[in-house]
Amino acid sequence: MLIKPTDALVVVDPQNDFLPGGSLAVAEGDRIFAPLNRLMPRFSHVYATRDWHPKNHKYFQAEGGIWPYHCLQGTPGAEFSSQLNASEIDAVVSKGVDPETDGYSGFAGTDLERRLRADGVGRLFIGGLATDFCVKATAIEAKQRGFDVVVLTDAIAAVKLKPEAEDDALRAMRETGCELATSAEVR
């Protein structure tokens, strides 16, 4: 799978709160960094999304939602992990800013699509956290918006609220027309 100038890498939520020790830790979250760091210099366009929640976000347990506080605006937990080579990121897109929406997708209430179109991007390679929520939502919405999508299976990791959540997410992305590939298949 050859990288073209019209391709972009989208790194979904590589934030401290989603890593081991964070407030909403993905057990295998650290595994995303080696493949992503290896790939980033090879893309003309690298975007990163980040959860950037206000404290009153309705999806937090304190507001009646299912999630513990995480990625609160301006906190260390919302920062990108030091394991990420952030110098390779061309644009950061904040999501989950609206307390009334889940903010899972990188397209939800953001200007990501406008930025991608302005850069002439037609195909997205997606990695990051977490497979069963934000990666899945971003990949499926990208496909629905007309982008070709490749999900990098060795550069994602799942929260796994249920044991089958990761497999279900991969199936949902495939059924929507997303390709699944490893970073080793990308040249």
Query: Is 48:11 a contact under the CB 8 Å cutoff?
Result: yes
Cβ–Cβ contacts within 10 Å for residue 37, how many?
16
The span from the CA of 89 to the CA of 78, in Å, is: 16
Tell me whether residue 55 is one of the annotated catalytic residues: no
Please provide the distance, in angstroms rounded to a whole number, between the alpha carbons at the two ends of the chain: 6
* Helix pair angle (136-144, 165-175), 10° resolution: 10
The span from the CA of 41 to the CA of 133, in Å, is: 26
Among 7, 13, 51, 132, the one annotated catalytic: 13
Residue 125 token pair: 């390679």
Among 17, 51, 71, 95, the one annotated catalytic: 95
3-state DSSP assignment of residue 164: coil
Among 7, 102, 134, 136, the one annotated catalytic: 134
Tell me whether residue 134 is one of the annotated catalytic residues: yes
Query: Is 169:144 a contact under the CB 8 Å cutoff?
Result: no
Tell me whether residue 95 is one of the annotated catalytic residues: yes
**Residues with a known catalytic role:** 13, 95, 134
